[in-house]
Amino acid sequence: MSDPAITQHLAVRPAGPLSRRSGFLLAALAVIALPLIFTDTYWRTNLTICAINVLLALGLDFIIGYAGQLNLGHSAFYGLGAYVSTLLIVKLGVPFWAAFAAGVAFAGVAGMFLSLFAVRLRGHYLAIASLGFAVIVYQILLNWIGLTQGPLGIYGIAPPPRLIVAGTVIADFHNLAAFFYLVSGVTFIVYLLLDQLVRSPVGETLTAIREDEVSAASLGINGAAWKVFAFGIGAAVAGAAGCFYASFVGTLVPEAFFVTEAFNILAMVIVGGMGTLIGPVFGAILLTLLPEVLRGIGDLRLIVYGAALTLVVLFMPGGLAQAARVVREKLKLGGPKS
């Protein structure tokens, strides 16, 4: 039986520069082509939700997969980004992109705030603390009716303003295809930035803390500061997803950010493959679209969905990234020998 640690290492071994550039190009072409292939409202809506979930999974993977911090409160940062940006727009008339920046910053600061209290916690203790934070945020959103409207919700949230250059409308985000391109473009940029970050000395530092915090401290690494940094970045990315969610759906209710959403995001990261970045992208795509594909079989889709998750966890602990790596290795071994 193979060592899971070795298998996981194989799953995350970086590809060469040429293959990475080719992958980025193919991904960009796929993003451009999807709204042209799926022209109906139903699938364009699902594609946009899929892009938002990819953004959430990337943020959580940076916290869990690279910094090794078991965060179960990701839904809180998601909700904070959505509500802060929306309240600034609706109640104070702040322009969308200024409110977007504020929502992202507020979620990032909230992540750093949580990490300051949880920095000495590890494993399930940190998981419980972060889960408690998510519950507190949810209760605030639900019960502070004077500010958030509570269960009544906030309605009529407008999408981002049209992009106008020299008096010509370049993009109208009331259009589902344009909104998908906007969210996907931001997600693509976030992926590239995180990819560069984890391949830099910063990524090596976070990995050292994840693998052995005591040994990292002996090398002069300030584990507490780097955990705060990781939480801040991951939470800010989740806040950006929340801002897009609010303007896309047009309605905000606290139930959208209940703690179960945190487990959905965690499932995307685990199924995709923690600590790989690309794995959670495919995990988010799979777990967003699979229920829709299976909708035709009724409630049976829940059994199929649960069975698929169980099988992945049992037989591919490294997720889809590990599966792809194993297939690639077998294809190489089975290829023609010189």
Structural domains in the chain (count) = 1
Distance CA 198, CA 168 (A): 39
Domain annotation covers residue 192: yes
pLDDT band at 247 (very low <50, low <70, confident <90, very high): very high
Query: Would residue 259 be called left, alpha or beta, if left means φ above 0 and alpha means ψ between -120 and 50 degrees?
Result: alpha
At 147 the pLDDT is 92
Residues facing residue 165 across a β-bridge: 168
Identity of residue 328: R
Record the tokens describing residue 149, joined without a space. Answer: 């409207």
For residue 290, CA distances in Å to 95, 276, 297 come to 36, 21, 12
Query: What is the rounded CA–CA span in Å between residue 136 and residue 9?
Result: 37
Task: Write the pLDDT tens digit of every residue in 275-334.
Answer: 889 999 999 998 898 888 877 776 676 777 778 778 777 777 777 887 778 777 777 766
Is 296 within a domain? no
Choice among 169-173, 193-197, 227-231 with the minimum mean pLDDT: 169-173
Domain membership flag for residue 267: no
Domain-located, residue 107: yes
- Do 62 and 194 meet the contact criterion of CB atoms below 8 Å apart? yes
In a domain, 323, yes or no: no
pTM of the entire predicted model:
0.87
Does residue 142 lie in a domain region? Answer: yes
Q: What is the residue range of 118's domain?
A: 16-258
Summarize pLDDT for 132-182 with one digit per residue, the tens.
Answer: 999 999 999 999 999 999 999 999 898 999 888 877 888 889 899 999 999
CA distances from 138 to 109, 141, 237, 277 (A): 17, 5, 19, 28
* Coil/strand/helix, residue 153: coil
239 within domain boundaries? yes
| CA distances from residue 114 to 61, 202, 213, 231 in whole angstroms, order as listed | 17, 21, 19, 8
Residue 1 lies in a domain: no
